[in-house]
Structure 1
């Protein structure tokens, strides 16, 4: 431990539950092993605080209520646009269920065979139930349509509201058009202040504001707290995480307001570094820290054997096996791997990913069933990041079928490095940076994104002679800089530079 680092406190901020985010886990552990006192703050998944350690680093997940994520119109009845709609209290669902119960009761009573006046009354009551059911259905349709109309926040009234606050407040407009960002501040802010850090490391755009406001409050108390902003993505090129039209506008305004408070900026690629410098007028070019694998970050005494991909899929050593490891979303292109299976006899696909119960992955499973290949599609859970590379090594090829989005074009992503260290032949879409790297090294084949026939061609070529592609990894020095050890040196150098400046 370097004596200069002992006692210097670093708080790292991330907007997720830490599990599955290998970059922040590696950052926290490496900084702590360098001698800093590190606390990594993330978001609790269940409203309870959770704590554990990553090597010498402390991890805390804080509860985060999200009442500000809801818009005022979600609490009101849309009297003008849908005067018959139910109020947003759940009463519409309750009324529909009550009518179903009424009709079920009438069905049983008719089966009992009433006679005379009782039968006439039952017929009248049945007519009343049908009429009530139609009325409830009409009101529920209006409720559904009115909610759908406001979901994207792009009605004329919504656009006027957005324009007004942008014109009035400029970069401060996120407070009105994306107020849910305050929920992060209200969950994390007091915790950060209580930890009294010397340096705050804010991961990505949501945490930038949390870190900057903590820095401002510390300065008011007479403390010079340094802020590192680790920009994982170029926000103008991110596919919005929600459907409404204000998401990107609000987050970009928030980022522009707080970017000037960063004492240093780090990021994931040279291209993104240049884009961030231009977009925010940064004094210097951000330092690049690749999310490369860490081979020494496992538990000191492994409690269980490493993950075996083929055993997880239930296939033998001679079965052709393609793997994708990472987040699941439409823009990741995983559907092409499923659509190809009917034309790939004997080939199996493993998706090592998250959110297994989400609409996208359940839809892929359903589609595989329709195509008659569900038995050859294996949806698997994440493993600890230090087990990823050994697990991936069991495949015959690693696939990265991502679509053309600005952020997909500008960086070598995490799975690229993981596949490379697993010495897998690669099948990658023709996004700019990654395709260029694969063509240069010869470690795989490139196909046109979203082109099924070209994807099939690339897979056939790789499976026909995988050793020819694996041979690329024998080139001296190819993998040396794609390790976390070399990247952690950059991270620690950034920290030390800022903290020495603070002491001076």
Structure 2
């Protein structure tokens, strides 16, 4: 029987490198399997565009151009206050090396044989090199002072500048405050227009703007295009970002969200927030970040316990996901220090990132490096199987930020499908769900002692926390196959239900 195909080319857009973003990868593959022609557009760290096919999806990764940051009032004042500073901070480091080289040269000159007639020129040369060193040193000092001046975020000058441009430009101020959206648009918009989609699926905050602009450009050419906005976060809740970037993103989303023909998001609390905050007539649909049901026909991915070379009786905790300072992953290491038998496996996106290196250094400082195991990501389709031999999964998400309080993150679903006992902080939505199911312990956010107590409870009786998984109904709704039906319904609504063979 010929596979059913559906009318329409779908272009999904995300402002990251795609790798490791399981929601984006799953949605692209699932909609291709449902019959649409799917292209996935994202960013590349290579110098040239990358085009390839993976599964049933065509991938297009485009490098982002470099741009100077916006000329804020603080930067303009810095230019006047430190006129001798190097334009690029890296050049100050080059200047240091030049000073060292000149000192070596002067020392070498002192040892050179020469007649008295050459003494005067040599002294002149030596004096000239000293003047050069003083000049370079002065420029280096001003560069460092300029950088300290620019590092003081959200000071008086920044607040005045932001207020002025906001009053003048309204929601269009986003271009003045932060140019990341501009850089990404320069990279991706031509590729989106080239692909001529029937449906644009904008994943997360950055693509909503330039996808709306791409749709407008295509419509001017007579091409009918629909726009679906997939809101991964509540942007007004991202207030831990630098002030200018936060204001830029809030204004950016608010300006372009009305251009979306439909909106989908990642949790019910977030859907309610979006409806209230933006005055939407219709509450966004919800597609949870649930994993695929484990597919045992796929090649065996191995397991985390074997990868860490640990026996079956060694307690093993896992953290799988994004590694960044705001995740406070060091709390897990602080707690493991007080549980001497515990090993911890970190499956993180950037094993060589400075923050990850700081975690490795912390383990070495505590004399427990052999109990910490750092690895890269595992394919999203294999992750629950890979994690299933661990003793527990930990997520130390901080309380406070709105997006933390309303989230049911990937880790909740991935740990649950691995049938792991969960240890989570007392953020509202996540802790309520763990308590409802009974598949883990909740600790007080930021309290290492509370985390240690939760770990000890799980180690003492892990099977009691696995018991809820014996009922197939516990996770029945928390599968990607169940969730993806919302995408199919929205696509059919936007593009029509007709199919061809």
Q: Provide the TM-score with structure 2 as the length reference.
A: 0.91
C-alpha contact (below 8 Å) 1:6/1:35 kept by paired residues: yes
Per the alignment, residue 403 of structure 2 pairs with 407
1:178 aligns with 2:214: no
Alignment pair present for 1:461 and 2:457: yes
Name the structure 1 match of 2:330: 335
Distance 1:230 1:166 in 2: 27
Match of 2:342 in 1: 347
CA distance in 1, matches of 2:428, 2:155: 36
Quickly say closer, same or farther: Cα 1:128–1:317, change in 2 above 3 A. farther
* Residue 325 (structure 2) pairs with residue 325 (structure 1): no
Deviation of 1:402 after TM superposition, in Å, equals 1.0
Distance 1:366 1:132, change over 3 A: farther
Two-structure CA RMSD over aligned residues (Å): 3.0
Q: Summarize the alignment of residues 366-405 of structure 1 with structure 2, pairs less than 5 Å apart.
A: 366-404=361-399, 405=401
Distance in 2 separating the partners of 1:306 and 1:281: 46
Contact kept, 8 Å, 1:153 with 1:159, in 2: the verdict is no
C-alpha distance after superposition, 1:267-301 (max 9, x if no partner): 01111001111121112000000111113679x87
**What pairs up with 1:135-150 in 2 under 5 angstroms?**
136-150=136-150
In 1, the alpha carbon distance for the partners of 2:215 and 2:265 equals 20
Q: For the residues of structure 2 that align with 1:279 and 1:165, how far apart are their CA atoms?
A: 23
In structure 1, the partner of 2:65 is 65
Shift of 1:168: 1.1
Counterpart check, 1:282 vs 2:277 = no
Three-state SS of the structure 1 residue aligned to 2:358 is helix
Match of 1:51 in 2: 51
SS of corresponding position for 2:459? helix
Give the match for residue 357 of structure 1: 352
Look up the match of 2:492. 496
Deviation at 1:151, TM superposition (A): 3.5
Q: 1:452 to 1:124 in 2, by over 3 A?
A: farther
Q: CA deviation at 1:346?
A: 2.1
Cα deviations across residues 45-103 of structure 1 (Å, max 9, x unaligned)? 21222233343221111222132556478998944322443343754333221111222
Q: How does 1:403-482 map to 2 (within 5 A)?
A: 403-404=398-399, 405-482=401-478
1:483 to 462, 475, 479: 479
SS in 1 for 2:80: coil
**In the alignment, which residue of structure 1 is the partner of 2:249?**
251
Q: Gaps spanning 5+ residues in structure 2: where?
A: none
Please tell me whether the aligned partners of residues 392 and 458 of structure 2 are also in contact (alpha carbons under 8 angstroms): yes
Checking the alignment, whether the CA contact within 8 Å between 1:2 and 1:34 is kept in structure 2 is no
Q: Matched residue of 2:381: which SS?
A: helix
Q: What corresponds to 2:215 in structure 1? A: 215
Partner SS for 1:378: strand
The alignment partner of 1:88 has SS state of coil
Residue deviations 1:322-356 (CA, integer Å, cap 9, x gap): 10000011221211111123211121111100122
Aligned to 2:230: 230
Does 285-294 or 155-164 show the bigger shift?
Answer: 155-164
Aligned residue number for residue 261 of structure 1: 259
Q: Show structure 1 runs of 5+ residues with no match.
A: none
499 and 196 in structure 1: CA distance in 2 versus 1, 3 angstrom threshold: same
Aligned to 1:271: 269
Partner Cα distance (1:181, 1:372) in 2: 44
Maintained 8 Å contact 1:201/1:229: yes
Give distance in 1, aligned partners of 2:337 and 2:91.
46
Give the Cα–Cα distance (whole angstroms) in 1 for the partners of residues 227 and 434 of structure 2.
35
441-450 vs 492-501, which deviates more?
492-501
Matches within 5 A, 1:74-89: 78-88=78-88
> How far, CA to CA, are the matches of 2:179 and 2:460 in structure 1?
54
Partner of residue 26, structure 1: 26
Q: Secondary structure at the match of 1:477?
A: helix
Q: In 2 relative to 1, CA 61–112 (structure 1 residues): closer, same or farther, beyond 3 Å?
A: same
Partners of 1:458 and 1:13 lie apart in 2 by 40
Whole-angstrom distance in 1 between the partners of 2:338 and 2:115:
65
Asked if the contact 1:149–1:155 (Cα under 8 Å) also holds between the matched residues in 2, the reply is no
Pair 1:396–1:91, CA change in 2 (3 A): closer
Maintained 8 Å contact 2:294/2:385 = no
| SS in structure 1 of the partner of residue 467 of structure 2 | helix
Higher relative contact order (CA 8 A, sep 6+): 2
| Distance apart, 1:22 and its partner CA | 0.5
Q: Residues 379 and 118 (structure 1 numbering): CA distance in 2 closer, same or farther, change over 3 Å?
A: farther
The alpha-carbon distance between structure 1 residues 137 and 310, as it changes in their structure 2 partners (threshold 3 A), is farther
- SS at 1:325's partner residue? strand
How far is the alpha carbon of 1:189 from its aligned partner? 1.5
- SS at the partner of 2:373? strand
| Kept after mapping to 1: 8 A contact 2:75/2:150 | no
